[in-house]
A and B are shown apart, each in its own frame.
Chain A
Amino acid sequence: MISDEALADRILHGDTAAFEELVNRYKNSVFHIVYRMVGHYQEAEDITQEVFILVYNKLYQFDRSKKFSPWIHRIAINTAISNLRKKKKVINLSFDESFGQPYEDYPSVLEGDPEAIFERKEIMEDIRISIQELPESYRSVLVLRYQMDMKNAEIAQVLGVSKENVEVRIHRARKALRKELLKRWEERGVKRELSAF
Chain B
Amino acid sequence: MNCQLFDRYVFDYCDNNLSPALKMEMDKHRQECSRCNSQFMLTNLENQVLRDKSDLPVLADDFTPRVMQKIFEADHAATLHLRWTRKPFPARVRKIALTSAVAGLLVFLAIFAPHIIPFQKGPQVADTPSVGIGNSSDSDPTAMEMRSASKMAKPEETSSTINYDQMSPRSLSSEEANISPAKESAPPVTTPDNSSAADHASAELMMAVTAEPASDGSVPADSGTETADPPLGVMYWKTGEAQSPSRQGGIPDSDGKSDKVSDLPKPQQVPSSFTLTNVVNSNMDKNDPIIEYHYTDKDNRLLVITLQNVKNLDSIALMNKESQSLSEAPILAGKASQPQVEVIYNIDVGGQAYQVTLNGTLSAEELGKLAETISFSNNISATSQ
Interface residue total, chain B, C-beta cutoff 8 A? 35
Chain A positions 47 through 58: 1 when the CB is less than 8 Å from some CB of chain B, otherwise 0: 011001100110
List the one stretch of B53-61, B225-233, B341-349 in contact with chain A.
B53-61
A31/B59 contact (C-beta < 8 A), A23-B64, A194-B35, A195-B37 known: yes
Query: How many Å lie between the Cα of A142 and that of B68 in the bound state?
Result: 31
- Counting chain A CB atoms within 10 Å of each CB, the highest count among B39, B70, B71 belongs to B71
Is the pair B45, A131 in contact by a Cβ cutoff of 8 Å?
Answer: no
Check: B257 CB closer than 8 A to any chain A CB.
no
Which residues 105-153 in A have Cβ within 8 Å of B in the complex? 105, 109, 120, 123-124, 127-128, 131, 142, 145-147
Query: How many Å lie between the Cα of A16 and that of B42 in the bound state?
Result: 49
Which residues 72-91 in B have Cβ within 8 Å of A in the complex? 72, 74
Set of chain A residues within 8 Å of B64, measured between Cβ atoms: 20, 23-24, 27
Which residues 27-47 in B have Cβ within 8 Å of A in the complex? 34-35, 37-39, 41-47
Is the pair B57, A146 in contact by a Cβ cutoff of 8 Å?
Answer: no
Is the pair A19, B71 in contact by a Cβ cutoff of 8 Å?
Answer: yes
A195/B49 contact (C-beta < 8 A), A27-B63, A52-B67, A100-B55 known: no
Contact partner of A100 (CB less than 8 A), chosen from B38, B41, B54, is: B54
Which residues of A line the B interface, CB within 8 A?
Answer: 16, 19-20, 23-24, 27-28, 31-32, 35, 41, 45, 48-49, 52-53, 56-57, 97, 99-101, 105, 109, 120, 123-124, 127-128, 131, 142, 145-147, 170-171, 174, 177-178, 181, 193-197
Closest to A49 in B: B67
Which residues of B line the A interface, CB within 8 A?
Answer: 11, 34-35, 37-39, 41-60, 63-64, 66-68, 70-72, 74
Chain A's nearest CB lies how many Å from the CB of B316? 74
Is the pair B74, A53 in contact by a Cβ cutoff of 8 Å?
Answer: yes
Set of chain B residues within 8 Å of A57, measured between Cβ atoms: 74
Query: How many Å lie between the Cα of A188 and that of B58 in the bound state?
Result: 35
Is the pair B45, A53 in contact by a Cβ cutoff of 8 Å?
Answer: no
Contact partner of A48 (CB less than 8 A), chosen from B43, B46, B59, is: B59
A123/B51 contact (C-beta < 8 A), A49-B67, A49-B70 known: no
Contact partner of B59 (CB less than 8 A), chosen from A45, A53, A99, A128, is: A45
Query: How many Å lie between the Cα of A58 and that of B67 in the bound state?
Result: 15
Chain B's nearest CB lies how many Å from the CB of A107? 9
Set of chain B residues within 8 Å of A100, measured between Cβ atoms: 49, 52, 54-55
Q: List 19 A-B contacts (CB under 8 A).
A: A23-B63, A23-B64, A24-B64, A27-B63, A27-B67, A31-B63, A56-B74, A97-B55, A100-B49, A101-B54, A105-B54, A124-B45, A174-B46, A178-B42, A194-B38, A195-B34, A197-B41, A197-B42, A197-B44
Query: How many Å lie between the Cα of A48 and that of B57 in the bound state?
Result: 13
Query: How many Å lie between the Cα of A142 and that of B43 in the bound state?
Result: 14
A194/B51 contact (C-beta < 8 A), A20-B68, A49-B70, A177-B46 known: no
Is the pair B38, A195 in contact by a Cβ cutoff of 8 Å?
Answer: yes
Is the pair A194, B53 in contact by a Cβ cutoff of 8 Å?
Answer: no
Chain B's nearest CB lies how many Å from the CB of A75? 14
A174/B48 contact (C-beta < 8 A), A45-B63, A100-B54, A147-B53 known: no
Closest to A193 in B: B38
Set of chain B residues within 8 Å of A197, measured between Cβ atoms: 37-38, 41-42, 44-45
Is the pair B67, A23 in contact by a Cβ cutoff of 8 Å?
Answer: yes
Query: How many Å lie between the Cα of A196 and that of B39 in the bound state?
Result: 11
Query: How many Å lie between the Cα of A170 and that of B45 in the bound state?
Result: 17
Closest to B38 in A: A194
Query: How many Å lie between the Cα of A135 and that of B349 in the bound state?
Result: 108
Closest to A170 in B: B11
Query: How many Å lie between the Cα of A194 and that of B306 in the bound state?
Result: 120
Chain A's nearest CB lies how many Å from the CB of B10? 9
Set of chain B residues within 8 Å of A109, measured between Cβ atoms: 48
Closest to B49 in A: A127
Chain B's nearest CB lies how many Å from the CB of A149? 8
Closest to A17 in B: B68
Is the pair B56, A35 in contact by a Cβ cutoff of 8 Å?
Answer: yes
Query: How many Å lie between the Cα of A45 and that of B11 in the bound state?
Result: 33
Query: How many Å lie between the Cα of A8 and that of B51 in the bound state?
Result: 31
Contact partner of A45 (CB less than 8 A), chosen from B35, B60, B72, is: B60
Set of chain A residues within 8 Å of B48, measured between Cβ atoms: 109, 124
Is the pair A194, B42 in contact by a Cβ cutoff of 8 Å?
Answer: yes
Closest to A36 in B: B56
Is the pair B67, A53 in contact by a Cβ cutoff of 8 Å?
Answer: yes
Set of chain B residues within 8 Å of A146, measured between Cβ atoms: 47, 50-51
Closest to B65 in A: A20
Supply 17 further A-B pairs (C-beta < 8 A) apart from A41-B57, A53-B74.
A16-B68, A28-B58, A35-B57, A49-B70, A56-B71, A99-B52, A99-B55, A100-B54, A127-B49, A131-B50, A147-B53, A171-B11, A177-B46, A194-B41, A194-B42, A195-B37, A197-B44
Which 10 A-B pairs give the minimum distances between C-beta atoms? Answer: A194-B38, A197-B41, A146-B50, A101-B55, A127-B49, A100-B52, A195-B34, A52-B67, A146-B51, A23-B64
- Counting chain A CB atoms within 10 Å of each CB, the highest count among B44, B46, B60 belongs to B46
Set of chain B residues within 8 Å of A20, measured between Cβ atoms: 64, 68
